[in-house]
Chains A and B, each alone.
Chain A
Amino acid sequence: MSDTNVQEMEKPEFYLREEHHPEESTMIGFWLYLMSDCLIFAVLFATHAVLGRNYAAGPSPADLFDLQLVAINTAMLLFSSITYGFAMLEMERGRQKSTLVWLAITGVFGAIFIGLELYEFIHLIHEGAGPSRSAFLSSFFTLVGTHGLHVTFGLVWLVTLMVQVSIHGLIPANRRRLMCLSMFWHFLDVVWIGVFSFVYLMGVLG
């Protein structure tokens, strides 16, 4: 090891260990938002776990829930997750048209999900099992309704982005927005796993 070599090495060098990624700092910020959203759902799940057996001499989950409908609903959300994944893959390849097509298919599945959920809610309220019937139904409507509202806003966001992409193309800003919506959409699917497992299946189990 020669002297010059050592001197060269001791020259102060400043490494920027992390590069500047403006769009990726959006990603971590959005992830933190999702985590806080997760806490909202956790509180609603806890409420349902505490109140879910208080029927006030009213109907129980086994009387009310139509598991076939829930299974179809779950399938819709699962399909919409994979089609959104395909939209992201097409976006990666820079194909604007097929990205829009997959986004539209995702939107259709999401809309069917919301439609079926609204049908279920209206059906329950017609049967006299509205949110004011018992503590169980209050917590059920709050939890499932909050999830449904999230999906509804996800749909609004989806349509907005489809308009944005068709006007401006797959510019970096639109890619970033699509990636945020991707995380949001898959996150809602994760929450739905909790809903169908703990609210519907465990509820019917009694």
Chain B
Amino acid sequence: MSQQPKSHESASDTHHGHSLGHEAGHGSFKGYITGFVLSVILTAVPFWLVMGNVFDNPTLTAFFIMAFAVVQIVVHMIYFLHMNMESEGGWTMMALIFTIVIVAIALSGSLWVMHHLNSNMMPMSPEMMRNMP
């Protein structure tokens, strides 16, 4: 019983600390510089991979491009958009996770369905092409 009010107090204390810590919500000079340097590296490497024809295997290059893009998006989220678990009582993170789920379904679903549709289409002969409306 004697524990309850104390924990309440500390919970509201930490909350207060977060809402007061406005610098955390806006980022710091160091944070922006870190994010910028990371972004420059994460942008330059995929461009270099493609423009310099570093790998002979395009699939490998594509894999690296995707990996770097995902990491850079996370870097931007953390250092520029200042995402964290605590902001707005976690609701920004919930909205983000929900959006990521929807985006993943929309992207993978479209690709999956349209790929099957494509491979089940009747191939078009040059004659059919010529007589197309």
Contacts and interface: CB of A to CB of B under 8 A. Distances in A.
Interface of A: 1, 5-6, 9, 13, 15, 17-19, 21, 24, 27-28, 31-32, 35, 38-39, 42-43, 45-47, 49-50, 67-68, 70-71, 74-75, 78, 81-82, 85-86, 88-89, 92, 179, 183, 186-187, 189-190, 193-194, 196-198, 201-202, 204-206
Contact of A19 (B16, B46, B107): B16
Contact of A92 (B11, B26, B80, B98): B26
22 contacts: A1-B1, A13-B5, A15-B8, A15-B12, A17-B11, A18-B89, A45-B107, A46-B111, A74-B43, A78-B36, A78-B39, A81-B76, A82-B33, A92-B26, A189-B76, A190-B73, A193-B43, A197-B65, A201-B47, A201-B65, A202-B65, A206-B58
A202 B39 CA distance: 19
Contacts of B16: 19
B71 to A, nearest CB: 10
B102 A42 contact: yes
A71 B72 CA distance: 15
Contacts, number: 138
A196 B51 CA distance: 13
Interface of B: 1-2, 4-5, 8, 11-12, 15-16, 19, 22-23, 26-29, 32-33, 35-36, 39-40, 43, 46-47, 50-51, 58, 61-62, 65-66, 68-69, 72-73, 76-77, 80-81, 88-89, 91-92, 95-96, 98-99, 102-103, 106-107, 110-111, 114
A181 to B, nearest CB: 13
A116 to B, nearest CB: 15
Contacts of B99: 35, 38-39
Contact of A205 (B2, B61, B73): B61
A28 B77 contact: no
Nearest to A67: B51
A193 B69 contact: yes
A5 B6 CA distance: 13
What are the 10 A-B residue pairs with the smallest beta carbon separation, nearest first? A197-B69, A85-B32, A46-B110, A186-B80, A42-B103, A35-B99, A50-B114, A82-B36, A28-B88, A201-B50
